[in-house]
Amino acid sequence: MNDQSAGIRIEIDEILARLPHRYPFLLIDRAEDYIAGESIVGIKNVTVNEPFFPGHFPGNPVMPGVLIVEAVAQAGAVLMSKTLDADINKTSIYFMGVDKVRFRRPVKPGDTLRMPVKVTHMRGDLFKFSGAATANGQRVTEFDFSAKGVTLP
C-alpha cells in the first residue's frame, strides 16, 4: 500500500470537478481510500427520492442493476481522472466494456452502496478494473470493466 495516498477521501466538490455527470445521473456521493493508480471506494447513499424508484418498481422500489454498474463505473472514473489528473474540459473518460457481471441482492431505499474498485491493468489512458458493490455488508454485485480517456476536439 502506498502510505502517501492511503485513506484519501474525495468529497462531492472534487467529484463534480472530475466527472461531467450531473443530477440525476451522478451516482456517487463521495469516495474513500483513494490510492493513485491502484484503488478507490465509492459511496452512494440510496434515498427514497431517487428519480428511478417511482417506476422501478411501484410499491417495491429496487435500484436498477444497470445503474449500480454505472455507479461503480463512476467510482472507477474518479480513480482514473485523479490518477491521470485529467481536465474534464479536455478529456472524457468513456466506459468501454463490462464482463462477468453477477447480481446478488437488490438495493433498496436507505441502503448505502460501498463500491470498491481496483485497477487490474493500466497502460496510458486505458484502464481495466475489478469492481463490486456492497450494501449493509452484503455483496450486491461484482464485475470487471474497462475505460479509456479520450482527448476532446
- What are the residues whose beta carbons fall under 8 Å from the beta carbon of 65, sequence distance 6 or more? 101, 103, 141
Residues 32/146/81/21 CA torsion (nearest 10 deg)? -90
Residue 24, CA distances (Å) to 21, 27, 98, 116 in order: 8, 8, 22, 22
Identified catalytic residue from 14, 29, 33, 56: 56
* DSSP SS3 for 55: helix
Among 46, 41, 43, 20, which residue's Cα sits nearest to residue 30?
43
To the query of whether residue 21 is one of the catalytic residues in this protein, the response is no
Catalytic residues: 56
